[in-house]
Every structure is written in C-alpha cells, then in structure tokens.
Amino acid sequence: MARPDRITLFLFVVYCVEIGLFLVFAPWTMLWDRTLGQLPSQLLRAVALHPALRAGVTAFGLVHLIWGAHDLTLLLSRRDP
C-alpha cells in the first residue's frame, strides 16, 4: 500500500503538470482574448492583452512544469522498504 506522502506527492505532480500546461497555452488562445477583452476598463484590457503579460503567465506555467518534473524524479527515485 502506498504511503500518504507518496500519494500527496503524486497528486502535486499531477497538479503542476495540469496548471503548467494550462498557463503555458491559455494566454495565446482566443479564449484569453475573448474573456479578458470584455474587461470594463480600457487600461486593464490593454494590460491583460499585452504580450509581456502573456509571456509572464507562460513563464509561470513553465515554472510549474519544471517543478512538477523535479518532484516526479523525486517520486520515482524513492524506494520504500
């Protein structure tokens, strides 16, 4: 039977991969444009649709993917007695 810390680590890896992929791809889709294009303030809309903000969100997604890969290697390298 798996120990609770291994299950928790596995769930965290799944979370990191899911949110990482979402944050990498979502800023460059039409959904992002349609959703944030409806902001009431022209200034907020301009900031939300600016390529630099999109790149920052993508970078944050990459951080999640790297973190998930790191924890996956920890999970796979552990040996239970």
What is the per-residue DSSP string for 34-53? HHHTT-S-HHHHHHHT-HHH
Q: What is the pTM of this model?
A: 0.84
Choose among 30, 5, 16: nearest CA to 60. Answer: 16
Q: At 66, which amino acid appears? A: I
Q: Is the predicted pLDDT of residue 53 greater than 60, yes or no?
A: yes
How much is the average pLDDT of 38-59? 94
For position 1, what pLDDT does the model report? 45
Arithmetic mean of pLDDT, 70-81: 83
